Structure 1
Amino acid sequence: RHADLCQLLYVHKGQAQLEIEGQRSTLSEATLQVLPPLCVHGFRFSENVEGFVVTLAAPLMAHLQGQLGAALDGLNALGSYPAGNDSDYLNSLFARLQEEYASDQPARDMMMHALVSVLLVWISRQAIQRRHPRAPRGREYFRRFTQL
C-alpha cells in the first residue's frame, strides 16, 4: 500500500499473478493495470515476463488530473485494461518512457510528462468506453450525420 503513489503495471509478455485488495487474478495477455493510492497489492511474475511498472507521485497525479478534468479520472480508480490492438502502441510508449528516464537529454522532464499524459489519456478513454459501451454502428453514423 502506498499513500501518495499510483502505479501503472503493464505486462505485455508472460504472466503476472496479482493480489489486489484480497482478490487474486492473473494477467495472461497484454494488460495495463492501474493501482491507485492506498490500494493493497502484490505481484508474482512468471520467469518470461516482460513489462513495466511506472510509479507516479501524488503531485504529478494532481497536475495531470487537473489538465484532464474530473470527467476523465483514470488514476484514482482501480482498473485493468487489456491492450488489445493497442499493445504495440503501449509497448512503444512505455519503452520510450523508460528511455527518457534513463537518459540525460534536454527537456527530459517535459518529455516524460508528455508520455505519461498520453498514457493517462489512453487509460481514461478505456474507462469511458467501459462505462459507456459504443452504440451500434448505425446509431453512431446517424449521430454523426445529425451533428453535421
Structure 2
Amino acid sequence: MDNRNIPGSAPHPMKTLVPTYALYGEHGQGLVPESLHCESIPQRSSLYGWEIKLHRHDLFVQILYIRSGEVRIQFDDRRLEARGPCALFVPALHAHGFRFSEDIDGAVITIVTQQMEKLLAPHADLLAHFQAPALAVFESDEHGRRSFSLAVELLLAEYADTQHWRLPLLESMLATVLALLARKIATQASQAPGRRTPRAAAHLHRFRTLLNRHFREQRDIAHYAGRLGITATQLNRICREELGLSALGVINGRLLAEARRDLAYSSLSVKEIALTLGFSDPGYFSRFFAKHAGMSPSGFRILVRNQLDRQRA
C-alpha cells in the first residue's frame, strides 16, 4: 500500500445523507467527559467487523494513531490506503469511514472541537493545519515517529489513570500531541513538490492572524489580500495549496467555528449571535449556518444542549 497525503476538501454535499454520530458507531451518546475520549482501535473496530462505515461528527475532531497494521480510508468522496506508523486527523463535519486490517494496532483520540480551538487559539498558524483531513506518515521519519508516539502514549496512559492533577496534565499532553501532529503535517507539505514556499507560509500565517482579529467585520478576500500585499488570486492559490480550501472557505470556516461556539456555550439568542458576527440580517445568518453545518442554528443548539444534559445526568 502507498501512504499518500489527503487532498483537503470542503464537506461533500453527500454529508446530509451520512449519519451523524457522537462517537463512531454510537447514536445519541452524550459529550465525552472532560471534552476528551481515548480508546483502542482494535477493541472498537472488531465489534463492527473491522469496518467503521461512513459517518460524520458535528461536535468532534479525531486523531487516529496507527501503530501498525493497514487501513483503507474514505474522506468525503476520496479514498486512500495507509499503513502504520501513521496518524490521521479527522475534522468535524467531514464524512469519513475506515476498513482496518485484523492486525491493526492503535488508538483513536476524540476531542470536542471547541476544546481544541481553545488550546490552539494563541497559535493561528498551527490551528490552520487542522482545517482539512490530513495524513501524517512516519515511515521514514524516525525522530518524528518517536516524538509523536511518546506524546500519544503518555496521553493514553494519563487518560486511563486517576491520580491527582489529571485534568491539567491531560490538557498539556493533548496540546503537545496536536503541536507535534501539526508540525508533521506542515513538514510534509513543505516537502511536497511545488508546495509551501517560505513566502507562502508567511502569507498564510499573516492571513490567519488578520482573520482572527477581523472576522467579525465580514471583510472580503480582496481586503485581506490587499493587507498582505498580494492579489486575491494569489491568496486563493495559497489557501488551496496549504489548506485545501479557498480563501473564502477559510473565512467562512472561521465564522462557522465562532457561531458553533456561541450557540453551544453562550446564552445569546440566534439574532444576537448573528449581529456579533457581522450579519445584519439574522435570516441570512441562519441560511449561512445551515448551508455549512447541515442544520439550523436552533437545531444545532438543541443538539448540543441535549448532549450536555445527558453528560450531566
When normalised by structure 2's length, the TM-score is 0.40
Q: Deviations over 1:39-71 (max 9, x none)?
A: 10011111111111100102211211213x211
Structure 1 range deviating more: 72-81 or 107-116: 72-81
Aligned residue number for residue 91 of structure 1: 149
Deviation at 1:87, TM superposition (A): 2.2
| 1:61–1:41 CA distance, 2 compared to 1 (3 A) | same
Alpha-carbon shift at residue 126 of structure 1 (Å): 2.2
Query: In the alignment, which of 49, 71, 91 is matched to residue 125 of structure 2?
Result: 71
Structure 1 residues 19 and 7 mapped into 2: Cα distance closer, same or farther (>3 Å)? same
- 1:143: which partner in 2? none
Amino acid at match of 2:125: A
Aligned partners of 1:131, 1:18: CA distance in 2, in Å?
Answer: 20
- Structure 1 gaps of 5+ residues are 135-148
1:50 and 2:108 equivalent? no
How much has 1:132 moved relative to structure 2?
3.4
8 Å contact kept, 1:16–1:28: yes
Equivalents in 2 of 1:26, 1:118: separation in Å?
27
Which among 162, 165, 174 is matched to residue 116 of structure 1?
A: 174
How far has the Cα of 1:129 moved from its partner? 2.3
Question: What aligned pairs does 1:121-132 form with structure 2 within 5 A after superposition?
Answer: 121-132=179-190
Alignment TM-score, normalising by the size of structure 1: 0.81
Superposed displacement of residue 12, structure 1: 1.5
Q: Check the 8 A contact 1:75/1:120 in 2, yes or no.
A: no
Question: Does the CA-based 8 Å contact 2:158-2:170 persist in structure 1?
Answer: yes
Instruction: Give the whole-Å Cα distance in 1 for the aligned partners of 2:99 and 2:113.
Output: 25
Secondary structure at 1:132's aligned position in 2? helix
Amino acid at match of 2:70: Q
- Are residues 133 and 46 of structure 1, via their aligned partners in 2, closer, same or farther at CA, if it must alter by over 3 Å? closer
User: Secondary structure at 1:109's aligned position in 2?
Assistant: helix
Q: SS of the counterpart of 2:121? A: helix
Question: Equivalent pairs: percent with the same residue?
Answer: 24
- Partners of 2:97 and 2:181 lie apart in 1 by 21
8 Å CA contact retained: 1:35, 1:77: yes
Given that residues 148 and 181 in structure 2 are in contact (C-alpha distance below 8 angstroms), is that contact kept between their aligned partners in structure 1? no
Ranges in structure 2 where 5+ consecutive residues have no aligned partner = 1-55, 193-313
- 1:8 aligned to 2:66? no
Task: Tell me the amino acid that sits aligned with residue 126 of structure 2.
Answer: L
Decide which structure has the larger Cα Rg and report it: 2
What's the RMSD between the two structures over aligned residues?
A: 1.7
The more displaced of 85-94 and 47-56 is 85-94
In structure 2, distance between residues paired with 1:116 and 1:105 = 17
Structure 1 stretches of 4+ with a deviation exceeding 6 A read none
Higher RCO (Cα < 8 Å, 6 or more apart): 1
Match of 2:288 in 1: none
Partner SS for 2:108: strand
Shift of 1:128: 2.7
What residue identity is the alignment partner of 1:87? R
Q: Which amino acid aligns with 1:72?
A: L
Partners of 1:46 and 1:38 lie apart in 2 by: 26
Answer whether contact 2:59 2:113 (CA < 8 A) is retained.
yes
CA distance in 2 between counterparts of 1:103 and 1:56 reads 18
Report the counterpart of residue 164 of structure 2 in structure 1. 106
Equivalent-residue separation in structure 2 for 1:46 and 1:11 (angstroms): 11
Change (3 A) 1:39 1:111: same
